[in-house]
Copies of this chain bind each other. A is one copy, B any other.
């Protein structure tokens, strides 16, 4: 029997049950469900994994709750710099964009880079210029303004620190990124990731999200992976491709490979965060070494799962 599967994340970090209230919890859960449903509907009606991850991530970008697209955090310059990438596992085609300031949906720009240029990765003003050529929807700066994000910047500045997402206290770390991975009824895999970066980050910093092999990877021969976490460590550990390599060359299962990377290799260099993965058999992994990760999944045989905390 043919099957399909999708998993999504909305970031990992210090997400404690004690710091949440019932209303906030419901908000996140219903946002995750809404995004998941978009991908699920595409996959169920025999759409491609690539369309499913793109449309799901687009929905998460449009949601203020998550640090990507509309909900992006502020850089030290009171700017927004968004990154995104997408990859499909059949032909290993990929697209990525970085340091995007005005484009409403960076994940869609990444897909256009993949499909309409000879390049994989466009950054900065060159990427914005390409977006205009493609007549992509761009937004004024105040579309990306949210009061909560601005307060975070002021807090981060006052302590002269980079903080990684909307942390209520500075000891909290939260890695704001959104992502999706999917297996479609044709047996193809795809992955997409999008982020608004780190609050108070240095202008021009590129994290793991637009790095194919670090934040995003898909290959029909193995798995599709989307990451969220302390991006620098994910780059140095080549996390997304690392999981693939452990599966295909190290003969581990998706779950074993994910755990090896997230629970063992990443902590060995003090990296934290998590990832979502799906393999060609439809197995799903939702793996993180932080207190929580906003996550959800749907499998055509087993139905829906939505989670926030570790347990």
Contacts and interface: CB of A to CB of B under 8 A. Distances in A.
A106 B92 CA distance: 30
Interface string A107-136: 000000000011111111111011000000
A140 interface: no
Interface string A163-180: 000000000000000000
A203 B129 contact: yes
A238 interface: yes
A252 B250 CA distance: 12
Nearest to A97: B204
Given A211-B213, A213-B211, A245-B242, A121 B235 contact: yes
Nearest to A236: B92
A32 interface: no
Interface residues of A, number: 47
B217 A238 contact: yes
Interface string A235-273: 111100110011001100000000000000000010000
Nearest to A125: B204
Contacts of A249: 245-246, 249-250
Contacts of A94: 235-236
A3 interface: no
A121 to B, nearest CB: 4
B122 A205 contact: yes
Contacts of A162: 118
B236 A238 contact: no
A206 interface: yes
A245 B251 CA distance: 12
B211 A130 contact: no
A181 interface: no
A204 B242 CA distance: 27
A233 to B, nearest CB: 9
A25 interface: no
Interface string A82-118: 0000010001111010110000000000000000011
A126 B269 contact: no
Contact of A205 (B91, B93, B121, B204): B121
Contacts of A127: 204
Given A92-B269, A119-B205, A212-B235, 18 more contacts: A87-B236, A92-B236, A92-B237, A94-B236, A98-B123, A117-B202, A120-B235, A121-B235, A122-B206, A124-B204, A125-B203, A125-B204, A129-B204, A130-B202, A213-B238, A238-B241, A241-B245, A249-B250
